[in-house]
Structure 1
Amino acid sequence: MTYRWWTQATVDALLAEDAPYGDLTTESLGLAGRDARLSMAVRGDTTLCGVELARELFLTAGARADLLAASGARVPQGDTFLLAEGAAGPIFRAWKVAQTLVEYLSGIATLTADIVAAAQAVSPEVAVVTTRKTLPGAKAQMIAAIRAGGAFPHRLGLSETLLLFPEHAAFLADPAEGIARLRRQAPEKKVVVEVKTLEEAEAVLPARPDVLQCEKMTPDDIRQVVALTAEHSPGTKVAAAGGVNLSNAAAYAAAGAHVLVTSAPYWAKPADVKVVIGPA
């Protein structure tokens, strides 16, 4: 996964945020023009993300930089993934922004990859997708991270998917009519309906939604929903949502869920990146 999800304006803004008026320490020490070398390595097995943007930070700051591994790569503990050389001023200017960016995004990518691996070890065809609970203003970064980990976005926002929540249904006389209206209004879109109980699932199946999103149901509940859909609406896919994480992804996959909807990667512990800087 190496698509470019940032612009040059993103790079400029990140550098300006950390050093809007220069690097006071490096410049005061008279080190800005000294030749320097930097390396970045992982302290644990890590699925990388953000390394291409990290390289751009060094290049824009005025240094040279090379990548030894790309976003999406799983690298073992101790492996170096980025080298930068040049004047110490640019090296120090880009250092912490690049390191922190890679740590946050690689943490998300690593947990995502682990969830995908756990689920697909049980059910190779199960899809792992993530919710729209990204940090506001950081959607591009966080979506890049889950993509690097092998997942896809479930919803990028309200403008591109149809998801009938119980909160919508509270305004409708009949949820089935709501499903029919959504199909008339947006015939090219799949209709997803969220349910919270087996009874709600059974009640909505005659309307044949494309996807039943089962909120905070247990794996045993999911197994029963899968059986109900097979009997009453074979074309309906079953998505397990709400509380899906690394500890239970395999159980939901084993229960027969076609899709696992998770927010867990967004709160992943950052990866640990070791940085070494010294004279070239």
Structure 2
Amino acid sequence: MIARADIDRLLAEDVPAGDLTTDALGIGDRPGRMVFTARGDMVLAGVDVAARMMDGLVVSLHARDGDRLSGGAPILDARGSAADLHRAWKAAQTLLEVLSGIASATRAVVDAAAPVPVATTRKTVPGVRALSQRAVRAGGGILHRHGLSETILVFPEHRLFLAGESLAEIAARLRRTQPEKALAVEVGTIDEAAEAAVAGFDLVQLEKFTPEAVAALVARLPAGDRRARLAAAGGIDPGNAAAYVAAGADLLVTSWPYTARPRDVAVRFFAG
């Protein structure tokens, strides 16, 4: 749930001290309507947040987050004063366009990777993580990590400070200190991955492995006796997702959807 304070912040960024043009024209009290539609194919995201940005307006929703829309498909319409319409217009339109771009990109990776799940990282634009993650879920993805506070993922940068402890020793340390948590570790070579797979970790994150390297790792591990799941990470997109799945990855981890091109949303105004 996006907090009311965050909704207000989104609006205040665009209208910090009133709408000068609408006020100067003296049209703020006049009634009107605006209609949002998809300009092209898209997976919709952010529509409920956009509706909450339309304070003072009567909003009718015609689609939900996660819906696949084609060009011309209705999204929402809003009725009310010209002042309230203009206040919400661009901020809500831009929000829908950006989040629907993320959702559409996520869906493309999810479709290419099926049936293996696709998780997105925490590498969002600072300040809008909750919105970006909302779009990922609308696109059928899952969240690799909300942040640093709820999951354990040991990076090579952590291991620098552990005075040469083996992966098995690190896993044992974490089992003692956080016995209820799943343990993940990021590795950069096949040898490290093979060691981590039997060291007691639940997930081994294969950073920037090629599909061929993933397949070589899978062939090296004992068949039918592998506790750790393998997560391919780094450079995952719709063009290579299927290759990673075919190589034996149990999970795909990607940041690619966060930089997706926004999807166009058309807005038409009507007076009266």
1:23 pairs with one of 19, 25, 30: 19
| Distance of 1:28 and 1:163 partners within structure 2 | 55
| Distance of 1:249 and 1:56 partners within structure 2 | 36
Say yes or no: does 1:271 pair with 2:263.
Answer: yes
Task: Indicate if the aligned counterparts of 1:206 and 1:232 stay in contact, CA closer than 8 A.
Answer: no
Q: State the superposition RMSD in angstroms.
A: 1.4
Query: Map of 1:69-108 to 2, 5 A cutoff?
Result: 69-108=63-102
Alignment size in residue pairs: 270
| Distance of 2:137 and 2:198 partners within structure 1 | 35
Aligned partner of 2:191 in structure 1 is: 199
Aligned partner of 2:150 in structure 1 is: 160
CA offset at residue 232 of structure 1? 8.5
Partner-residue secondary structure (3-state), 1:207: coil
CA offset at residue 233 of structure 1? 4.8
Residue 13 of structure 2 aligns with an amino acid whose one-letter code is E
1:220-262 residue CA offsets vs partner (Å, 9 max, x unmatched): 1111222333449511111000111121111111111100000
| Distance of 1:130 and 1:153 partners within structure 2 | 5
Aligned partner of 2:8 in structure 1 is: 12
Partner-residue secondary structure (3-state), 2:35: strand
TM-score, structure 1 normalization: 0.92
1:41-96 residue CA offsets vs partner (Å, 9 max, x unmatched): 111111111111111111x1x11111100111111111111101111111111000
TM-score, structure 2 normalization: 0.95
Partner-residue secondary structure (3-state), 1:214: strand
Identical amino acids, percent of aligned pairs: 49
Deviates more, 1:259-268 or 1:156-165: 156-165
Residue 104 of structure 1 aligns with an amino acid whose one-letter code is V
Aligned partner of 1:187 in structure 2 is: 179
Gaps of 5+ in 1: none
Aligned partner of 2:125 in structure 1 is: 135
Partner-residue secondary structure (3-state), 1:222: helix
Task: Indicate if the aligned counterparts of 2:198 and 2:227 stay in contact, CA closer than 8 A.
Answer: no
Aligned partner of 1:45 in structure 2 is: 41
Task: Indicate if the aligned counterparts of 2:98 and 2:263 stay in contact, CA closer than 8 A.
Answer: yes
